[in-house]
Amino acid sequence: MDVKTIIGFSAGILTAISSIPQIIKILKDKKAQAVSPLMFFVLLVGNLLWCWYGVMLNDLPITLTNGFSTICDILMIILNYKYSKK
Amino acid sequence: MDVKTIIGFSAGILTAISSIPQIIKILKDKKAQAVSPLMFFVLLVGNLLWCWYGVMLNDLPITLTNGFSTICDILMIILNYKYSKK
């Protein structure tokens, strides 16, 4: 694996896992009032487009890590909907 | 501009602007309790690495949009620090 791929995967893994502390915090506090749901809809579309871009460039770091981010975005939208109703 | 570049810029602009509703919401509500500060530190490092990756690939969409995201991340960290102290 070359340096370029390592940088790409490191970047992708960090931006992908950045949603995880947010998900844990919402699950723990059981509130989502200060979290904007619009942010995660915009992110969802953005991450889906990054996946498409990664496929077009035949670039694994972009495709795989944005695929994971897309799943996190969907989870955040569900949690935000669930806890903002309380 | 070819289709690939348009997809890349659309993806990057969406993921970059996804912080803006969050920034506006925090400025309006003047509270950041439900927003995890750890998320933005991880995002900051991730976006900086994406910039580096974009430079290595000589890819303008990746470099420019992650440069903008980096600025947003720094702003979010400052706001989160400011409003979580209240």
pLDDT at B33 over 70: no
Residues A14, B49: C-beta atoms closer than 8 Å: yes
pLDDT of residue A25: 79
Backbone φ and ψ for A33, nearest 5 degrees, come out as -60, -35
Taking one residue from A and the other from B, the number of pairs with CB-CB distance under 8 angstroms is: 118
Residues B71, B20: Cα–Cα separation, whole Å: 11
B1 band by pLDDT with thresholds 50, 70 and 90: confident
Burial of B85 (0-12, 13-18, 19+ CB in 10 A): exposed
Low-confidence residues of chain A: pLDDT under 70: 33-35, 85-86
Residue B27: band (very low, low, confident or very high) from pLDDT cuts 50, 70, 90? confident
pLDDT value, residue A86: 54
The C-alpha atoms of residue A37 and residue A58 are separated, in whole angstroms, by 31
Put simply, whether B56 touches A (Cβ < 8 Å) is yes
Q: Which residue of B has its CA nearest to A70?
A: B15
Is it the case that residue B68 has pLDDT exceeding 70? yes
Please give the Cα distance from B82 to B61 (Å, whole number). 32
Lookup result for tokens 């490092």: B45
Alpha-carbon gap: A30 to the closest alpha carbon of chain B (Å): 9
**Which pLDDT score is estimated for A28?**
85
Q: Could you give all domains of chain A from N- to C-terminal order, each with its CATH number?
A: 3-84 (1.20.1280.290)
First-to-last C-alpha distance (Å) of chain B: 48
The more confident residue out of B5 and A84 is B5
Distance CA(B57)–CA(B80), nearest Å, equals 33
| More confident position, B66 or B21 | B66
Mean of all residue pLDDT scores within chain A: 87
First-last CA distance in chain A:
48
